Chain A
Amino acid sequence: MAELQVSVVSADQEIWTGTASMVVARTTEGDIGILPGHEPLLAILSAGEVRITESAGAAAIKANAEDGFLSVEHDTVTIVARNAELVRG
């Protein structure tokens, strides 16, 4: 199965990058789930968590991305926010 290349980027550094099987984010319109093969998308995130399901295992990574945006193209997901941080859980 194809995988998503995910990177979480904040203003001063790249916070996390890796492959994932699914990304769930909360946009201003509502929650959105992204699986491999998603159409190109640019969405504004509302304050909230982004859940990244790593493909290697069942481990889920949570990232706090406030007032950022999310872009999807060719199975590459970029989550960009001024103050993003990882919440390991």
Chain B
Amino acid sequence: MGAQLRVYRQKIKSAQTTKKITRAMELISASRIQKAQARVAASGPYSRAITRAVSAVATFSNVDHVLTTEPETVERAAIVIFSSDRGLAGAFNSNVLREAEELSTLLRSQGKDVVYYLVGRKAVGYFAFRRRDSVQNWVGGTDNPVFETAKEIGDTLVAKFLEPAAEGGVDEIHIVYNRFVSMLTQTPEVVRLLPLEVVEGIEEPGDNEVLPLYEFEPEAGDVLDALLPVYIESRIFNAMLQSAAAKHAATQKAMKSASDNADKLITDYTRLANNARQSEITQQISEIVGGADALSVK
């Protein structure tokens, strides 16, 4: 077999193997999207109930709560980046990291010190490679987030927020995550988590009804004390679920185009291999004919 032909056959083989893997990954993530989406939907009632309750307390009481009060000077801002544990998801992780970089440039230009909290191995790897510091990392389990992790992150952030900036606390907390828009679109989203802007109306009941005058038990302030950390947890949990669903969608899209590209490669190389085989045969024929001619001339 000619050397050229052998090279092409090798390339076809390798593209076929790659295609098998990418096809399998595409199917796996396609089935996981459904589950991840169902989890996003299932957590909806909880976050709606909490958002409603928090806006009720914030609207009907004049409580100044530390979590909702804008600090006079912001010395340090924290950015929480929600990436994934695994790659092979197209621009999923680079999008969210780029968004975080833009945010931190903006915050730095406002004279704020920026610290990072990272979720997911990819963000941790990105920071480790660039020898940059992060305060705390959470890795593992981004594909299938559990509420305990959200609670842990929430507790850490609220504790840091309550600390004065001079002792290493933060005055602002932003989260950056990929929001699942559709199977084809995932957009990186930046949300300022703390101080809270409760009256944001994103998950208000749609029927425009006025919130009733609530009776609070015990006091409105105590209710807010208990509700706000829970609200933050639920926002973080929602971000994690969105990010997981977006990751699966991104993987599916990336793996689909990888399989398509492998198909195209296989076709191209098959053409080339056929050409090489044909020209090899042609050459052999002409060698034989030439040889026979040379022998017959006497």
Given A12-B39, A12-B147, A14-B42, are A41 and B214 neighbors across the interface (CB < 8 Å)?
yes
In the complex, chain A residues whose CB is within 8 Å of the CB of B227: 69
Q: Mark A4-34, 1 if CB is under 8 A from B, else 0.
A: 0001011111100000000000011100100
Q: Are the C-beta atoms of A44 and B223 separated by less than 8 Å?
A: yes
In the complex, chain B residues whose CB is within 8 Å of the CB of A11: 43, 46, 147, 150, 233-234, 237
Q: Are the C-beta atoms of A44 and B222 separated by less than 8 Å?
A: yes
Q: Are the C-beta atoms of B217 and A10 separated by less than 8 Å?
A: no
In the complex, chain A residues whose CB is within 8 Å of the CB of B52: 71
Q: Are the C-beta atoms of B214 and A40 separated by less than 8 Å?
A: yes
Given A40-B214, A41-B215, are A82 and B230 neighbors across the interface (CB < 8 Å)?
yes
A78: Cβ under 8 A from any B Cβ = yes
Q: Are the C-beta atoms of B215 and A42 separated by less than 8 Å?
A: yes
Nearest CB in chain A: distance from B56 CB, A:
6
CA–CA, A87 and B218, complex, Å = 27
Q: Mark B44-65, 1 if CB is under 8 A from A, else 0.
A: 0110011011001100000000
Q: Are the C-beta atoms of B46 and A42 separated by less than 8 Å?
A: no
Q: Are the C-beta atoms of B42 and A27 separated by less than 8 Å?
A: no
In the complex, chain B residues whose CB is within 8 Å of the CB of A43: 216-217, 223
In the complex, chain B residues whose CB is within 8 Å of the CB of A82: 147, 151, 230, 233
B292: Cβ under 8 A from any A Cβ = no
In the complex, chain B residues whose CB is within 8 Å of the CB of A29: 217-218
Q: Are the C-beta atoms of A73 and B214 separated by less than 8 Å?
A: yes
Closest chain B residue, CB of each to CB of A42: B214
Q: Are the C-beta atoms of B42 and A13 separated by less than 8 Å?
A: yes
CA–CA, A39 and B230, complex, Å = 24
B295: Cβ under 8 A from any A Cβ = no
Q: Are the C-beta atoms of B53 and A80 separated by less than 8 Å?
A: yes
CA–CA, A42 and B42, complex, Å = 23
Q: Are the C-beta atoms of A39 and B215 separated by less than 8 Å?
A: yes
- In chain B between 207 and 248, which residues have their CB closer than 8 angstroms to a CB of chain A? 211-218, 222-223, 226-227, 230, 233-234, 237
Nearest CB in chain A: distance from B92 CB, A:
23
CA–CA, A69 and B211, complex, Å = 17
Q: Are the C-beta atoms of B53 and A9 separated by less than 8 Å?
A: no
* A-B interface, 10 closest residue pairs, ranked by CB to CB distance from nearest: A40-B212, A43-B217, A13-B42, A11-B147, A14-B45, A40-B214, A80-B49, A9-B45, A42-B214, A44-B226
Show 16 A/B contacts (Cβ-Cβ < 8 Å), sorted by A.
A13-B45, A28-B217, A28-B218, A29-B218, A40-B213, A40-B215, A42-B56, A42-B217, A43-B216, A44-B217, A44-B218, A44-B222, A44-B223, A73-B211, A80-B46, A80-B49
Question: Which residues of A come within 8 Å of B, CB atoms?
Answer: 7, 9-14, 27-29, 32, 39-44, 67, 69, 71, 73-74, 78, 80, 82
Q: A42-B56, A42-B216, A74-B212 are in contact. List 12 more A-B contacts (CB 8 A).
A: A7-B45, A9-B45, A11-B237, A13-B43, A14-B42, A27-B217, A29-B217, A41-B214, A42-B223, A43-B217, A44-B223, A71-B56
